[in-house]
């Protein structure tokens, strides 16, 4: 897996951001049985930066914890069979499936870890797993969809021994 990693905000939470992101992203791909090597972009920012991105792309003028920008439109979440028929899903140089980009606010990681009563490792890993599922077509707009995502996120984190 290729991770295009950028840390635009120097907040240190005592984590190896890149290594943990790779572990969680790979575990999520494995859990979903993705048959391809994949690439994603991950950018770490502060609340001000994610607020601006949220305003620009979602017309919501407030900070959020994570934004996901999938590059593939899935007919069925987590179903990869149709991808070989599409030329524009794969990086022509590496052959990897281009899933999309993730942007995380480290300010939100820290605040939500405190709010939910768990560590920053758990919160950061949760946001990576959550966003990876979005990049594979999952959503949580309806209650049933949210339940599916919650189950998958928890299973990925449990597989890595990252618990509350």
Residues 20-72: tens digit of each pLDDT:
999 999 999 999 999 999 999 999 999 999 999 999 999 999 999 999 999 99
Q: Give the 3-state secondary structure of residue 108.
A: helix
pLDDT value at residue 79? 96
Residues 105-122: tens digit of each pLDDT:
999 999 999 999 999 999
Instruction: Write down the pTM of the prediction.
Output: 0.96
Question: Is 31:155 a contact under the CB 8 Å cutoff?
Answer: yes
Q: Is the pLDDT at 162 greater than 90, yes or no?
A: yes
Q: How far apart are CA 52 and CA 39, in angstroms?
A: 25
Neighbours of 76 (CB within 10 A): 9
Q: How confident is the model at residue 85 (pLDDT cuts 50, 70, 90)?
A: confident
Q: How far apart are CA 56 and CA 41, in angstroms?
A: 19
Opening angle at CA 25, ends 24 and 30, nearest 5: 95
Residue whose tokens read 């890993």: 125
Q: Is the pLDDT at 164 greater than 90, yes or no?
A: no
State how far the alpha carbon of 134 is from the alpha carbons of 10, 28, 48, 114, 164, in Å: 26, 11, 23, 25, 22
What tokens were used for 129?
């797993």
Q: Is the pLDDT at 87 greater than 90, yes or no?
A: no
Q: Is the pLDDT at 84 greater than 90, yes or no?
A: no
């Amino acid at each position: 897996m290729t991770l295009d990693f950028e840390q635009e905000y120097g907040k240190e939470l005592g984590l190896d951001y890149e290594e943990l992101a790779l572990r969680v992203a790979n575990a999520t791909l494995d859990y979903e049985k993705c048959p391809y090597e994949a690439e994603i972009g991950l950018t770490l920012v502060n609340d001000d930066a994610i607020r601006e991105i949220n305003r620009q792309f979602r017309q919501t003028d407030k900070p959020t914890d994570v934004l996901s920008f999938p590059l593939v439109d899935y007919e069925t979440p987590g179903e990869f069979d149709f991808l070989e028929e599409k030329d524009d899903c794969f990086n022509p140089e590496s052959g990897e499936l281009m899933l999309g980009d993730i942007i995380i606010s480290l300010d939100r990681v820290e605040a939500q870890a405190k709010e939910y009563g768990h560590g920053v490792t758990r919160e950061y890993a949760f946001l990576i797993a959550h966003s990876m599922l979005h990049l594979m077509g999952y959503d949580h707009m309806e209650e049933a969809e949210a339940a599916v995502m919650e189950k998958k996120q928890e299973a990925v984190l449990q597989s890595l021994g990252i618990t509350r």
